[in-house]
Amino acid sequence: MTSSILLSITTFIYGAAAVFYLAHWIFKKELLGKLGTWTALIGVAGNIGGIILRWVESYQMGIGHAPLSNMYESLVFFSGTLVIIYLIIERKTRNSIIGGFATPIAFLAMAYASMSPNISDRIEPLIPALKSNWLIAHVITCFLGYSAFAIAFGISIMYLAKQKDVQGTSNMLSRFPKAMVLDELNHQMIMFGFLFLSIGIITGSVWANSAWGSYWSWDPKETWSLITWFIYATLLHARMMRGWYGKRIAYLSIFGFMAVLFTYFGVNLLPGLHSYGSF
Amino acid sequence: MLLLSIALTSIVGTIIPQNQNPADYYRAYGDFLYRLFNILGIFDMYHSWWFQFMLVLLTMNIIVCSIDRLSATWKIVFAKNPSFNLSRFRNLSQKETFSGNQPPNELKKSYEPFISRHFGYTKVEETEKGFCIFAEKWRWTRLGVYTVHLSVILLLLGGLIGSIFGFRGYVNIPEGEAVNSIRTMPSGKIQPLGFEIKCNSFNVSFYDNGAPKEYRSNLTILEKGHPVYKKDIIVNDPLRYKGYSIFQSSYGKMPATATPEKKTAVQKPSGKITLDFVSQQSGKSYRIQTVVGKPVEIPEGLGKFMVVAYKKKAEFVGQNIGEAYEGILTPQGGKPVEVLLPLRFPSFDRMRKGKVVISVVNQTTERSNPGSPAGVRYYTGLQVTKDPGVLLVYTGFIVMILGCFITFFMSHQRVCIEIIKGKTKSKVIVTGTANKNKMGMQQKVKRLSDQLADLTPGS
Ligand code: HEM
């Protein structure tokens, strides 16, 4: 079996996990939630297996490098970390409804990586600039941050839905965690994400300094990651100093995730260094 | 807020490409907009006076706010005797309560060492009903926020020092030759180095698909003609000497006698260009002749393509890839994309992963021809930088990571264990507060209470 096939299968397993979690939420069957958890776990195993296999394959091809060097590989890594972080939250909160809002993101990311005609899943040799351990640290930390922000995004949507129904009349929403818990989780995920985004930008900057001789050159991707960082910093300040919470934080969190998406996908539409290749 | 306005203005700089040829701007924006943008410095906005001014404003704001609040925090953090307010703990809504079999005195004896092992500071007080053990830890983490702000200031300061005292320059050195000065950018001044850099050899290797694999220059540093340091540099592994960093940046070939050209020249190409278009869907190849500036229609409805320029030394991700055509591909119903067609690497455009792969036919010149006349040798293109601010910036990086960790995940925690004498049993009430993450603190208080209950069996 090749890593591409294994990862394609993983995509469907994540899809199945998302369906189970959503069904668990809609039909209120505990069993479906359990099924979701086990499916997600199998998906993670496949995901990790796929990454390792791909690593081995690259060595067999004689161009060995960690599978973190292009759009496809980073999306695969992103999905894996997202589901792992989610499963940890599930264990801590003992609530598997959040799964219905987290695993679909992982499924979409994997599906986009495997199906999009713009993304190649071939293992390519590394051009000289990408041969750096700082790059590996950079990709890992950035995507840990992005996964946390993605989960915060899902939780924010849940929060906003829950807010709309103050009396608790809708029994679709009654099994969501309490609004306060969602708000707190959102905040925790954002702090976690912010720390890793900071480390991600820093390692990227150190890498740039060893490859191009400048730690910051205001290219669009760098600038957008800084913009994203500023948005989340604003969110943290609003919460810590102005005492913002709940709805406003949820909106800011959604807004921040849009910036993350743009940093990752949209920047390729802008002119600049990063725009030719996929990184 | 200031943070957001910097974020918003930064966006402008990502939409308008920075530091391009003025003529290109003029064509793209027209007379009026060009002048307006030029006055506002938008073509190099991150170095414009108003953007720098915003950064200064931001720094001032952080410094002022932080100093303003720091004095209050300082008093709390460095208080000699941390004060505890019993009634505040009594008023907390979340309490953990259990009862112990022993009298308060005994309980106190077994609890106190346990508590002082887990907290940095402990204090026992007698109350009207028994005892009270106060304890706290991580008081200093209240300074975490200021650490983060300090790191931001360090970064900005490092950047400032770099932009004032640092420079960046380029130099081409033919194999076997040495230089003792470089040309700085963008000013174009000659900067003496005080030592010599000699290029002993240069090597480039490629993968099978034409992508570059490694650029390697073997350099020697000479002081007054004597070699003092020798190193192979590749991309991502520069040579550092006396505060200078020497990076592999580009390369080229030259006749043995000529001197290397200093600047990228944009030349008019001579005559016709033959292009191959390979449709990825059908696999068919189409050969079409054109000239610069004349759009051609690609079969199978794959859109229009026009060669817009010829570059003698094109750059791709900072590397010189030699002669190339630049073109614009406009897919049907899609956005135009820039396409680079290096003469030396016919399969280069495959990397773009588009619907059509474009390559230049039969234009390989004598330079890139392996069978070229003898006496052709390489020169290596080096980037030499000096940035005395880097150390400060890297310190800022480390401080920022530590500061964020402290601020986000550590808090000043205080607990109060009140032991109240009852008729037969004692009552123990555990409460606690933290300046952050209150929900997490509740769980910690619960765990502490369970641990204390386990310490005194039978209760
Ligand atoms: C992008 C980097 C940052 C900038 C430019 C910045 C800027 C500022 C400014 C200007 C203030 C004062 C605002 C006022 O008093 O009206 C402030 C306060 C504050 N900032 Fe930041 N900050 C940054 C990063 C952070 C981070 C990462 C944290 C992390 C938690 C943080 C936490 C705080 C807090 C808690 C205050 C209130 C100060 C206090 O209560 O003592 N800041 N920040």
B300-313 per-position pLDDT tens digit: 888 889 888 888 77
Q: What is the ipTM of this complex?
A: 0.84
Of residues B211 and B223, more confidently modeled: B223
Mark which of A104, A126, A148 sits at the end of a domain.
A126
Predicted TM-score of the model (pTM):
0.76
∠ Cα A272 A224 A238 (to 5°): 170
In B, minimum Cα distance to A233 occurs at B3
Distance of CA A1 to the CA centre of its chain: 26
- Provide the residue type at B298 as one letter: I
| CATH at A20 | 1.20.120
At B261 the pLDDT is 43
The total domain count for chain A is 2
Average pLDDT per consecutive 10 residues, chain A (279 residues; last block may be shorter): 84 91 84 88 90 85 78 89 92 84 91 79 74 86 92 90 71 74 87 94 89 79 84 85 79 91 74 37
Ligand 1 centre and the CA of B3: distance in Å? 10
At A148 the pLDDT is 93
> What's the CATH number of domain B167-261+375-386, 3.40.50, 2.60.40, 2.60.98, 3.30.2320?
2.60.98
Which residues from chain A sit within 8 angstroms of residue B211, using beta carbons? Answer: 124-125, 127
- The DSSP bridge partners found for residue B327 are B307, B339
CB contacts < 8 A, A to B, total: 125
Sign, CA dihedral B126-B128-B131-B135, equals negative
Of residues B95 and B365, more confidently modeled: B95
User: Residue B259 — pLDDT band, cuts 50, 70, 90?
Assistant: very low
Does A227 contact B at CB distance below 8 Å? yes
Q: Where are the domains of chain B?
A: 2-68, 81-138+411-454, 167-261+375-386, 267-364
For B313-356, the pLDDT digits (tens) are: 777 766 777 788 888 888 887 788 888 888 877 778 877 778 88
CATH 3.30.310 fits B81-138+411-454, yes or no: yes
Reduced 3-state DSSP string for B249-311: EEEEEEECCCCCCCCCCECCCCCCEEEEEEECCCCCEEEEEECCCCCEEECCCCEEEEEEEEE
Distances (CA, A) of B103 to B107, B291, B429: 6, 100, 14
Is A11 in the same domain as A107?
A: yes
Is B243 in a helix, a strand, or coil? coil
Is A105 in the same domain as A137?
A: no
Distances (CA, A) of A28 to A39, A112, B27, B90: 18, 30, 62, 41
User: Residue B40 — pLDDT band, cuts 50, 70, 90?
Assistant: low
Tell me the mean pLDDT in the region B239-256.
78
Tell me the mean pLDDT in the region B266-286.
72
Q: Which A-chain residues 15-74 have CB contacts (< 8 A) with chain B?
A: 63
Domains B81-138+411-454 and B167-261+375-386 alike in fold: no
Domain span including residue A167: 133-279
User: Residue B268 — pLDDT band, cuts 50, 70, 90?
Assistant: very low
Q: Which of A194, A210, A231 sits opposite B238 (nearest CB)?
A: A210
Is A113 in the same domain as A152?
A: no
Q: Do B13 and A270 touch (CB under 8 A)?
A: no
Distances (CA, A) of B406 to A192, A194, B401, B410: 12, 13, 9, 5
